[in-house]
Amino acid sequence: MKKAFLTAITAGLFALNQMSFAATENFTVSLDAAQAGTVGAGGTGSGSGTLSYDTVASTLTLNNITYSGLSANSTFAHIHGSDTSVPGQSAGVLYDLAGFTTLGGTSGAFNGTVPLVDGTGGFSLAQQISQLEGGLWYINIHSANFGGGEIRGQILPVPEPSTLALLGLGAGALVWRLRRRT
Of 141, 144, 157, 143, give the one whose Cα is nearest residue 32. Answer: 141
More confident residue, 168 or 114: 114
Q: 4 — phi, psi (to 5°)?
A: -65, -40
**What is the structure's pLDDT at 11?**
54
Does residue 168 register a pLDDT over 80?
A: no
More confident residue, 156 or 165: 156
**What is the structure's pLDDT at 169?**
66
pLDDT-derived band at 179 (thresholds 50, 70, 90) equals confident
Q: What is the mean pLDDT of residues 121-147?
A: 94
The DSSP bridge partners found for residue 30 are 48
Question: Domain spans of the chain?
Answer: 22-161
**What is the structure's pLDDT at 18?**
47
Residue 138 contacts residue 116 (beta carbons within 8 Å): no
Q: What is the mean pLDDT of residues 97-120?
A: 93
What CATH number matches the domain at 22-161, 1.10.510.10, 1.10.240.10, 2.60.40.200, 1.25.40.10? 2.60.40.200
Q: Where does residue 70 fall: left (phi above 0), alpha (psi -120 to 50 degrees), or beta otherwise?
A: beta
Alpha-carbon distance 83 to 157, whole Å?
Answer: 16
**What is the structure's pLDDT at 84?**
77
**What is the structure's pLDDT at 6?**
52
Query: For residue 42, what are the contacts with CB-CB under 8 A and spacing of at least 6?
Result: 33, 71, 146
Q: What is the pTM of this model?
A: 0.76
63-105 tens-digit pLDDT: 999 999 999 999 999 999 987 766 667 899 999 998 888 889 9
